[in-house]
């Protein structure tokens, strides 16, 4: 079974630039999560999708972050414009169901904002 | 805001030593407690999903216990090996939401 795919693996941009990350979940997984992991902290949920609908985006900084999951499969997360404090690892995860099922993670995208 | 804590923050042990970490979480609205191992440059890997008070799970040299009434879980590694070096994350699952702890970074020295 193929795992969760993410790209790019690494990205370096300057502040005020835009950046987009892509995630392809495990086939058949209805729930998709985007997390932000800042060095020294645990992953923080940014947005959670169930199929192509948003379940929770309460911690997404909507003035600069956006995410979509067209057709309920792949997802993209965008930051525009980026700030220095956005430097982090962005993890995508998927699970079969909304409740309690273990999440399967992608390798993450390490973003550095200069 | 729910708070999940892990201790210690980091740990250095010698190869062959046994070690354990703690995850503390709210004792209300409990659904499940997840443990993950996250090696550098790799995807976080699920170790255990624990749902019942008193649960004990084991996978090779790694085991975990769960106390939902007092809100803690222990992860044990017996006879640590260099390949156990990683960050160990716990995640508190309440309904459809997950809150992660900050992790314990383990370094096993040969």
The pairing of beta strand B104-109 with beta strand B10-14: parallel
Helix (H) or strand (E) holding B38, with range, is strand B32-38
Residue A32: pLDDT band by 50, 70, 90 thresholds? very high
A42–B98: do the CB atoms touch at under 8 Å?
no
Taking CA atoms, A31 is separated from A34, A50, A75, in Å, by 10, 5, 11
**Pairwise CA distance, residues A20 & B7, whole Å:** 34
Distant-in-sequence, close-in-space partners of B26: CB < 8 Å, separation ≥ 6: B2, B3, B71, B92, B94
Indicate the SS3 state at residue B46.
strand
Handedness of CA B31, A101, B41, B84 (dihedral sign): positive
Q: Which of A2, A23, A25, A42 to mutate to test the interface with B (most CBs of B within 10 A)?
A: A42
Give per-residue pLDDT as tens, B48-75: 999 999 999 999 999 999 999 999 999 9
Q: Do A104 and B42 touch (CB under 8 A)?
A: no
The closest alpha carbon to B43, from A89, A78, A12, A50, belongs to A89
For residue range A35-73, list pLDDT tens digits in order. Answer: 999 988 999 999 999 988 999 999 999 999 999 998 889
CB atoms A98 and B96 under 8 Å: yes
Cα-flanking dihedrals φ and ψ of residue A70, to 5°?
-70, 140
Chain A residues close to B96, C-beta within 8 Å: 48, 55-56, 98-99
CB–CB contact A99 B31 (8 Å): yes
Q: Which of A100, A101, A108 best tests the B interface by mutation, with the highest count of B CBs <10 A?
A: A100
A contacts of B49 (beta carbons < 8 Å): 100, 102
In 3-state terms chain B splits into helix, strand, coil percentages (rounded to 5) of 5, 55, 40
Nearest to B109 by CA among B19, B9, B22, B21: B19
3-state secondary structure of A96: coil
pLDDT exceeding 90 applies to what percent of chain B?
Answer: 85
The reply to whether B5 touches chain A by the CB within 8 Å rule is no
């Amino acid at each position: 079974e193929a795992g969760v795919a993410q790209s790019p693996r690494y990205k370096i941009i300057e502040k005020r630039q835009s950046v987009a990350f892509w995630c392809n979940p495990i086939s058949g997984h209805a729930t998709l999560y985007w997390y932000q992991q800042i060095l020294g902290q645990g992953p923080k949920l940014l947005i959670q999708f169930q199929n192509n609908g948003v379940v929770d985006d309460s911690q997404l900084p909507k003035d600069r972050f956006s995410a979509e999951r067209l057709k309920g499969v792949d997802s993209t997360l965008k930051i525009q414009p980026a700030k220095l404090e956005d430097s982090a690892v962005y993890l995508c995860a998927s699970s079969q169901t909304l409740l309690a099922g273990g999440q399967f993670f992608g390798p993450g995208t390490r973003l550095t904002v200069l | 805001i729910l708070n999940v804590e892990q201790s210690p923050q980091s740990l250095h042990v010698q190869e062959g030593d046994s070690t354990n970490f703690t995850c503390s979480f709210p004792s209300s609205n409990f659904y499940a407690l997840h443990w993950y191992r996250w090696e550098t440059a790799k995807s976080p890997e699920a170790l255990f999903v624990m749902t019942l008070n008193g649960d004990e799970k084991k996978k090779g040299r790694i085991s975990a216990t769960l106390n939902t009434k007092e809100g803690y879980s222990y992860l044990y590694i017996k006879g640590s090996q260099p390949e156990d070096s990683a960050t160990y994350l716990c995640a508190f699952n309440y309904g459809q939401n997950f809150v992660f702890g900050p992790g314990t970074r383990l370094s096993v020295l040969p």
